[in-house]
Chains A and B, each alone.
Chain A
Amino acid sequence: MLSSKKKLWLAMATAVLAVSGLAHAGYKQDSQAFVGPGFAGGALGSIRSSSDTLQFADVIVRDNTWAWLVVVDANGEAASCTTTDANLIIAASAVSPGSYIYFEFDKHGECSSIEVRNNSYHTTPVL
């Protein structure tokens, strides 16, 4: 038979486990870096938290005059594009640490499309 002290400890442990479980609830989606012909993307949080040391993503917006994006996947494959288009620069400026990014580019290395998703299910980077 458990003593009342042990029962108290057991109750507290169960409560802690339950609360920690709740803290991680909600739909989550992992999106590692991907690179294809003329496109690339991934979620910054997933890329940061990936187990390999190759993946990374970088978005540079310079004085709203040009933007540069690069993504490297787990195999070391890289894709990059640059834009001076005002609308695409606005899109690139919306990137935050928890963003999912996807971009397309032409054969000259110029961005033709930049998509930025800021949502609840792409995890923010773990520092």
Chain B
Amino acid sequence: MSSRSIPIALYAAAAAVALLLGLALGGGALFVRAASRSKSPEIERLGQLQQTLEKQGQLLERLGRERAERERRPLEAAGVAEPLGSPAVAEAPAAPSPLSAIEAPTPAVAEPSIEQLELEQASRELLEAAVKEGAWRDSELLQFSKHFRRLTRLQQAGLAQSLSLAINERKIRVDPRRMPF
């Protein structure tokens, strides 16, 4: 190989790398632009699933907080534990997470699968439709019951609570002949 041919090969290689990088960047930018311009149904579905997961997380966190609070109250009354925010608690070792507080007594609670999250979303939509109507339609009730049986216990509890709330707010009639679960 001559001394002149080495720089030419180097230039060629550098140019090839630059070209490849440019193509990759350009392609990525085009993809991002296309994705942001029109959301595909899959992306929308993922967004909905993310929202559902966030709601589940919030529910878990709230349930855990409330349980921890309930468990703490008798101890405080007995003088075993100091109220939250006191120096003793601040120096205490890290408390169990809210999730562990509600997971411990309910081993049957499992993480919902993607399918179960979708079923929960569908069930919520059916419940919302029933609330809008003020009562269950036959088809909605049947579908809701079918979905409900396939959900995790925690998902079921969340839906049951939503139904309780709707009943208490007089948004839906409750009829023993038409019980959703």
A and B: partners?
yes
Question: Chain A residues in contact with chain B, CB under 8 A?
Answer: 56, 58, 60, 62-66, 68, 70, 72, 78-82, 84-87, 105, 108-110
Complex alpha-carbon distance, A65 and B153, angstroms: 6
CB contacts (< 8 Å) of A60 on chain B: these are 160, 181
Question: Chain B residues in contact with chain A, CB under 8 A?
Answer: 63, 66-67, 70, 102, 105-106, 108-109, 153-154, 156-157, 160-168, 170, 173-174, 176, 179, 181
Q: By the criterion CB–CB under 8 Å, are B154 and A109 in contact?
A: no
Q: Interface majority SS on B: helix, strand, loop or mixed?
A: helix
CB contacts (< 8 Å) of B154 on chain A: these are 65-66, 84
Q: Which of B154, B162, B165, B173 has the most A CB atoms < 10 Å from its CB?
A: B165
| CB nearest to B162 among chain A residues | A109
Q: By the criterion CB–CB under 8 Å, are B176 and A56 in contact?
A: yes
| CB nearest to A88 among chain B residues | B70
Complex alpha-carbon distance, A78 and B165, angstroms: 11
Shortest C-beta distance, B105 to chain A (Å), equals 4
Leading 6 A-B pairs by shortest Cβ distance: A109-B164, A109-B165, A66-B157, A65-B153, A82-B161, A80-B164
Q: By the criterion CB–CB under 8 Å, are A84 and B63 in contact?
A: yes
CB contacts (< 8 Å) of A108 on chain B: these are 161, 165
Q: By the criterion CB–CB under 8 Å, are A65 and B174 in contact?
A: no
Shortest C-beta distance, B147 to chain A (Å), equals 15
Q: By the criterion CB–CB under 8 Å, are B153 and A82 in contact?
A: no
Q: Which of B67, B168, B170 has the most A CB atoms < 10 Å from its CB?
A: B168
